[in-house]
Structure formats: C-alpha cells, structure tokens
C-alpha cells in the first residue's frame, strides 16, 4: 500500500529532470543515426540546437 506521507517524496523537479535526461538520450541516439538522413547537415544542426535547449533547461533546475 502506498503511503502518502512518505519521508522522501519525489518532487516535480525530479520528474522534470528525469524527463529531460530521457529526451537528451533520445536526441543523442538520433544524432548517432544521422547518416540515414538524406540531408545530414540540417538534421545535425537541428538536433544540436535541441540538445543545447534541453541541456540548458536541465542546468536551470535546482539541485536537490
């Protein structure tokens, strides 16, 4: 049974950090597979920009 008054609840910041880290992993996997893209340079730039935005968002989150 779940205890609603758990001594160490997971905060929304931790959920957000987890989601952003998953997204970074997806971006990095896509960058590794970029050779399959018909226009790799444009795809690389798009993924690098997205990676930078997600990384910046992670950096702005408070540390636990």
- Per-residue pLDDT at 56: 95
pTM: predicted TM-score of the whole model, two decimal places: 0.70
- Per-residue pLDDT at 2: 47
Task: Print burial letters for 23-62: b (CB count within 10 Å at least 16), e (below 16).
Answer: bbeebeebeeeeeeeeeeeebeebbeebbeebeeeeeeee
Domain assignments of the chain as residue spans, ordered by start: 12-60
- Per-residue pLDDT at 18: 94
Residue, of 5 and 28, whose pLDDT is higher: 28
Tens of pLDDT, residue by residue over 6-62, are: 555 668 889 999 999 999 999 999 888 887 777 888 888 999 999 999 999 999 988
């Amino acid at each position: 049974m779940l205890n609603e008054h758990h001594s160490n609840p997971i905060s929304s910041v931790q959920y957000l950090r987890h989601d952003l880290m998953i997204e970074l992993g997806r971006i990095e996997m896509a960058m590794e597979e970029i050779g399959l893209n018909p226009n790799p340079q444009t795809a690389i730039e798009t993924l690098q920009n997205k990676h930078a935005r997600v990384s910046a968002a992670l950096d702005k989150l408070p540390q636990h």
